[in-house]
Amino acid sequence: MWLHYAENVISIVSSTLPYLIAMDRNYFLNNSFKVNMSSGNAIGITEENVTIDLMGHSVRYAYH
């Protein structure tokens, strides 16, 4: 799993999907994702005080 850490900021990259956020930090997308999953969440959150900055990007489901 590759993540970029910088001052409590974590980059979510497509190779880490599905991704579970289990730490209260700031996260951002480094690009747009097209998710092809039959079930589940691309990004799950189990903590409070989480910020996800899309930075103008999107997460989209790719229909079959």
| pLDDT of the residue at 2 | 40
Q: Over the stretch 27-40, which tens digit does the pLDDT of each residue have?
A: 888 888 888 877 77
What is the reported pLDDT for 41?
82
Backbone angles phi, psi at 16, to 5 degrees: -95, 0
Distances (CA, A) of 30 to 8, 11, 39, 53, 55: 15, 6, 23, 10, 8
State the pLDDT at residue 7: 56
Domain count, the chain: 1
Range of the domain at 48: 4-61
The whole-angstrom separation of Cα 38 and Cα 1 is 21
CB-based burial, 2-14: b 16+ in 10 Å, e otherwise: eeeeeeeebbbee
Q: What is the pTM of this model?
A: 0.68
Mean pLDDT of the chain: 77
